[in-house]
Amino acid sequence: MSYLKPLFRHPKLPKNKLGYTLKEYEGSLSTLCAGCGHDSISAAIVQACFEMSVEPHHVAKISGIGCSSKTPTYFLGNSHGFNSVHGRMPSVATGASMANKDMVYFGVSGDGDSASIGMGQFVHVIRRNLNMVYIVMNNGCYGLTKGQDSATADQGSKSKAGSINPFQAIDLASMAIELGASFVAQSFSGDKQQLVPLIKAAMHHKGFAFLNVISPCVTFNNNPGSTKSYDYVREHIEATSTLDFVPEMPEITASYEKGKSTKIALHDGSLIQLNKLETDWDPEDRISAVNALQQARIKNEILTGLLYVNAEWKDLHGVLNTYHKPLNRLDEADLCPGEDNLQAINARFR
C-alpha cells in the first residue's frame, strides 16, 4: 500500500536527548500534491520538535478543514490530534488547553480556514492570548475546491485559470499584531533555515504565537502572475533578521553577520537572538512592526522573520488565574478542600 511509510530506518540515525530519532516525530506518508509547500512546513515542525527533544505524547495537534488541516496526519504521529470543523479549530484548542495546560498545542490552519469562515474565531483566540502555536499555511487559494482565490490572495494576482483578483488581501500578520498577538512571525515554506528556529521560539513563547507561512500551491497557484508562487516569493522575500533560538540550558553561541543584534528573553528564560537587517524595525515595538510590514507591502516585498514579540503579557491561564494543576489531573483533595474551607467560603457570601 503506497500510503504506508517503510518501517526500516538506518540504525545509526542521530538521536536527541530523549534517545529518539526523527522517525519518532514523523507521521503518515503525505497524500498532498508532490511539491506542496505544506509538506515542507510539516518537515520543519518535525525537525524543531526533534531538536528540542519534545516528548511526542506531550503535543496536541488541532486543525480545521482544508489542505493545511490534513497535515497533522503527516507529522508527530505519536502525538494527540483532533481534526475539527471548518474555521472552528481555536475553540477546540481553547477547550483542550483549559483542561490540560501542560501540553504543547499546535493549531494548524489555512488562509480560508482562518481568514474567511474562521475569522471570528481567529480574532478571539488572539484576544485571549491562548498559549499555543498557531500556524497558517497560506497559499492564497482554496486547493481542495479547484483553486479559487482566498481572502489572502493579493490584489492583481493572476489565477491558474487566468482571472485577476480585484480585491485587497487580508494581511494576517498585520492583523495579528493589531489585535494583540504576543508573538508574530512570517516565513516561507521553502526557507527551512528560518522556519525551524521560528517554530522553536514559538513553542517556548508563553502566549499566542502566530506564524503566517507562505506555502505555494503547486497545482492551482504556482503559475506566472501569482504572488504566492515559488518564483514570486523567492524574488520578493525580505527578511527582518537572522534568527536563532537559544535553549535555556546550556548556553549556545552562534556566529552572526555584522550588524546590530538583540536578545529577547521568553517567560521560561529561553532566548531569541536576532541580528537586525532592517534599520527601522524593533521586534518589541508593535508600531514599528506594523510599519515595517506596510513599508514592505508598498515595495511589493514579503517581510519574513520574527516581526513582533511581547514576553510580558499574561496568557489565558494567567489572566483567569487558573489552578496550578491541569484540570484532568485534579484529585479528590484538590476538588474537595474540606468542610472548614467550604464553611469559610460560604461565610464570605452571607
CA distances from 70 to 65, 242, 303, 315 (A): 7, 30, 27, 28
Q: Where are the domains of the chain?
A: 22-323
CATH T-level assignment (fold) for domain 22-323: Rossmann fold (3.40.50)
Query: What residues contact residue 190 under an 8 Å CB cut-off, 6+ apart?
Result: 37, 40, 216, 230, 233, 234
DSSP letters of 236-253?
HEEESEEEEEE-SSS---
Enter the pTM of the model.
Answer: 0.86
Give the span between the Cα atoms of 233 and 35, in whole angstroms.
15
Nine cell digits for residue 258: 555584522
Is it the case that residue 27 has pLDDT exceeding 90?
yes
pLDDT in tens, 106-154: 999 998 899 999 999 999 999 999 999 999 999 888 887 877 888 888 8
**pLDDT tens-digit series, residues 50-79:** 999 999 999 999 999 998 999 999 999 999
